[in-house]
Structure 1
Amino acid sequence: MADFILILSIISIWIAVFESILIMGGAIVFIRKQNREKATVPVNLEEFPTVTVMVPAHNEELVITATVEHILQMNYPEHKMQVIVVADNCTDNTAAKLKALQASESYKDRDLFILERTGTGGKSGALNDAMKHATGDWICIYDADAAPEKNALLFLTQKAMEDPEKYGAVFGRNKARNRGQNFLSKCINLELVTIQRVHHTGLWQLFKLGTIPGTNFIIKRALMEEIGGWDEDAITEDTAISFEIMRRGQLIALAPRAEAYQQEPEQLSVYMKQRERWAKGNFQVVLDNIHHLFNLSSWRIKLQVLYYATSYFWFLIAIIISDILFVVNIGYQAVSLFNPAVVSPFQFQGDIYVFLVIAWALMYFIYVLQINLALATDIGQSNTQNFILSCISYFTYAQLFLVISAKSFVSMILDKLIGREKKWYKTQRFG
């Protein structure tokens, strides 16, 4: 039985390695194509669509003024951009700061609408209420801590105009603006860069597959109205809406030059709460959509379900099991040095255990390789410090994923068993 479990874990790890290599190959092709293309900023923007930018804000007095100013200062025709900021159940000075900004000489003539809200539904509820006042052909979402670069919205809509019939949504890149704050924020930065410069580009190049990231994206207003708005019961509303878009035969396109900075957690407790919510939401999305593997849904939906299912269930379980086997064996071998009579409960035949070590070594190599491939494509990020960090983060930061996923899965099961209400957690800001 121990041999069978170990062999299954080894096969799973090899499949994960193959998946990573495939996605990296797609990312390399995408990046080479992008480097050959010249980024152009159109002079005449009159043909560009109208856009409603919506910003949900719950107790965001530390960051909301800077965020809205960044949005209002973007390079986009003023008469084509409506901005709606939702002061959602705020008990601080968020609404007051927004009103002061609205009344200022610089922005008094802009289409800036402040919606003070006391409803339920968290971020999804705030977005649904804001959508009732939206007038743009496209809806753009930015979180309350976002700092979009000047041409971010322009690049998003420019991508949408390439195929407005097929593209239901377009998403850009999000970068950590506090990446150098401490060890945690530096590791989060490596994760962000890798996901967006390798995973997002690779999946788009190979399969035209994309997922809404929650901020710095646009979506057709008519499509959102057809869907019925954001799911107020979903913990990760962005992933849930991505499946709804694909179900309607629309693609979620990648616009890699549309960049926005965001604030990442600087404390482990804040990080854990944020990521546990994400993992729990993604577990639920997988369960809600697993039936697509067995019906006539498009192959992209099936592939997306498989991608999430393997990442959050299969590969996770395989790594946990192999970790347990490895640690237990090491422990028993250490004890046997002093007491030869002690024997590990996991006895393996032949060289099976050696294959596990080889698989782990290859997985570690791929992990470091894909991080440094991503860093090499991002100006100023490929340096000695980040290389060293990429080597040690596997044994530190990356292992948090196992803890977070296990806790989130147990929490989700308990929610279902005892009927516990789902809560939306707002990430703490640091100003």
Structure 2
Amino acid sequence: MADFLLIISIISIWIAVCQSILIMAGAIVFIRKQNREQLTMPDNLEDFPTVTVMVPAHNEELVITSTVEHILQMNYPEHKLQVIVIADNCTDNTAAKLKSLQSSASYEGRNLLILERTGTGGKSGALNDALEHATGEWICIYDADAAPEKNALLFLTRKAMEEPEKYGAVFGRNKARNRGQNFLSRCINLELVTIQRVHHTGLWQLFKLGTIPGTNFIVKSSLIREIGGWDEDAITEDTAISFEILMRGQLIALAPQAEAYQQEPEKLSVYMKQRERWAKGNYQVVLDNLHHLVNRSSWRIKFHVLYYATSYFWFMIAIIVSDIIFVANIIYQIIALFNPAVISPFQFQGDVYVFLVIAWALMYYIYVLQINLALAADIGQSNTRNFILSCVSYFTYSQLFLLISVKAFAGMLIDKITGREKKWYKTQRFG
């Protein structure tokens, strides 16, 4: 039985490695193509569509003023831009700060709407309420801690205009603005850069497959209304809406120049709560969409479901099983030094255990290679300190995913059994 479990784990790890190599190959092609293209700015923005930017904010007094100012100062025609900020069940000065900004002379005459709500549904409920007031042809979402660069919205809409019939949504890149704060924020930065510059670019280059992030994206107003708005029962509403868009034959395109900065957790407790919520939401979305693997859905939807299912279930279980076997075997070998009568329950035939070590070594190499490929594609991030951090983070930061995944899956099961209500947990901000 031990041999069987180990062999399955080894095969799974090799499949995960092959998947990573394929995505990296796609990312390299994308990066090379992007580097050959000359970035130009349009002379006239009058042909660009109208956009409603929506910002859900729950007790965000520390960051909300800066975020709205960044949005209002973007390089986009003022008469084509509507901004709706939703002060959702706030008990702090979020609404007061927004009203003060609204009445300032600097933004006099701007189309800025402030909604104060006390309804349910968390972030999704806030967005659905704002949708009723939206007048733009496209809806743009920014989180309350976002700092979009001046041309972020321009790049998002320009990408949408390339294939207006095919693209139902367009997403950009998010960067950690507090990445140098401590060890945790530096590791989060590595993760974010790798996802943005390897996984997203590789999947888009190879399969024209994208996933909406929680912030810095646009979606057709008509499409989001056709879908019925955001799912108020979904913990990760962005992943859920991505599947809804794909089901309607629309693509989610990548606009790599559209960048926005966001604040990442600086405390481990805040990080764990945030990621456990994300993992739990993604587990639920995967389970809700497994039926697409056996119905007549498009290959792109099937691949999307399979990609999430392997990442959150299959590969994760394989790594956990192999970790348990590896650690248990080491512990028994140490005990055997003092008590030779003790025999490990994991007895392997031939060189099976050696193959596990080789698979792990290759997985570690690919892990470090992915990060440094991403860093090389991001100006100013490829340096000695980040290289060392990429090597160390595998044994520290990345191992948190195992704990988070187990806790999230257990939490999801408890929610289903007990009927526990899902809540919108806001990530703690830092001034």
TM-score, normalised to structure 1, is 1.00
Shift of 1:140: 0.1
Q: Give, in whole Å, the separation in 2 of the partners of 1:68 and 1:105.
A: 15
Query: Which residue is equivalent to 2:92?
Result: 92
Q: Give, in whole Å, the separation in 1 of the partners of 2:280 and 2:64.
A: 27
Secondary structure of residue in 2 paired with 1:337:
helix
Query: Which residue is equivalent to 1:245?
Result: 245
Q: Give, in whole Å, the separation in 2 of the partners of 1:106 and 1:93.
A: 21
Letter in 2 for 1:230: W
Shift of 1:298: 0.5
Q: Give, in whole Å, the separation in 1 of the partners of 2:402 and 2:213.
A: 22
Letter in 2 for 1:385: R
Q: Give, in whole Å, the separation in 2 of the partners of 1:83 and 1:416.
A: 37
Query: Which residue is equivalent to 2:38?
Result: 38
Query: Which residue is equivalent to 1:375?
Result: 375
Unaligned runs of 5+ in 1: none
Letter in 2 for 1:427: T
Query: Which residue is equivalent to 2:404?
Result: 404
The alignment status of 1:359 with 2:356, answered yes or no, reads no
Q: Could you give the per-residue CA deviations for residues 241-263 of structure 1, whole angstroms, max 9, x where no partner exists?
A: 00000000000000000000000
Shift of 1:318: 0.3
| Greater CA drift, 287-296 or 39-48 | 39-48
Shift of 1:341: 1.3
Q: Could you give the per-residue CA deviations for residues 299-336 of structure 1, whole angstroms, max 9, x where no partner exists?
A: 01000000100000000000000000000000111111
Q: Give, in whole Å, the separation in 2 of the partners of 1:21 and 1:309.
A: 18
Q: Give, in whole Å, the separation in 2 of the partners of 1:395 and 1:325.
A: 17
Query: Which residue is equivalent to 1:308?
Result: 308
Q: Give, in whole Å, the separation in 1 of the partners of 2:170 and 2:179.
A: 25
Unaligned runs of 5+ in 2: none
Q: Give, in whole Å, the separation in 2 of the partners of 1:422 and 1:97.
A: 29
Q: Could you give the per-residue CA deviations for residues 11-58 of structure 1, whole angstroms, max 9, x where no partner exists?
A: 000000000000000000000000000111111000000000000000
Query: Which residue is equivalent to 1:325?
Result: 325
Shift of 1:340: 1.4
Query: Which residue is equivalent to 1:141?
Result: 141
Query: Which residue is equivalent to 2:6?
Result: 6
Q: Give, in whole Å, the separation in 1 of the partners of 2:150 and 2:42.
A: 13
Within 5 Å, give how 1:12-161 maps onto structure 2. Answer: 12-161=12-161
Secondary structure of residue in 2 paired with 1:295:
coil
Query: Which residue is equivalent to 1:189?
Result: 189
Q: Could you give the per-residue CA deviations for residues 258-308 of structure 1, whole angstroms, max 9, x where no partner exists?
A: 000000000000000000000000000000000000000000100000010
Shift of 1:198: 0.1
Q: Give, in whole Å, the separation in 1 of the partners of 2:162 and 2:207.
A: 17
Query: Which residue is equivalent to 2:203?
Result: 203
Query: Which residue is equivalent to 1:264?
Result: 264
Letter in 2 for 1:97: K
Q: Give, in whole Å, the separation in 2 of the partners of 1:216 and 1:348.
A: 50
Shift of 1:339: 1.5
Report the RMSD for the aligned CA atoms in angstroms.
Answer: 0.4
The alignment status of 1:179 with 2:188, answered yes or no, reads no
Shift of 1:190: 0.1
The alignment status of 1:283 with 2:267, answered yes or no, reads no
Q: Could you give the per-residue CA deviations for residues 64-118 of structure 1, whole angstroms, max 9, x where no partner exists?
A: 0000000000000000000000011111110111011011011011000001111
Letter in 1 for 2:113: F
The alignment status of 1:395 with 2:395, answered yes or no, reads yes
Shift of 1:199: 0.0
Letter in 2 for 1:164: P
Within 5 Å, give how 1:163-178 maps onto structure 2. Answer: 163-178=163-178
Shift of 1:337: 1.3
Q: Give, in whole Å, the separation in 1 of the partners of 2:242 and 2:161.
A: 19
Letter in 2 for 1:379: I
Shift of 1:338: 1.5
Letter in 2 for 1:185: S
Letter in 1 for 2:331: G
Query: Which residue is equivalent to 1:340?
Result: 340
Q: Give, in whole Å, the separation in 1 of the partners of 2:117 and 2:330.
A: 56
Secondary structure of residue in 2 paired with 1:135:
coil
| Greater CA drift, 251-260 or 328-337 | 328-337
Letter in 2 for 1:136: G
Shift of 1:419: 1.2
Secondary structure of residue in 2 paired with 1:161:
helix
Letter in 1 for 2:173: R
Query: Which residue is equivalent to 1:429?
Result: 429
Q: Give, in whole Å, the separation in 2 of the partners of 1:416 and 1:236.
A: 16
Query: Which residue is equivalent to 1:293?
Result: 293
Q: Give, in whole Å, the separation in 2 of the partners of 1:118 and 1:397.
A: 37
Secondary structure of residue in 2 paired with 1:261:
strand
Query: Which residue is equivalent to 1:420?
Result: 420
Letter in 2 for 1:109: G
Q: Could you give the per-residue CA deviations for residues 105-149 of structure 1, whole angstroms, max 9, x where no partner exists?
A: 110110000011111000000000000000000000000000000
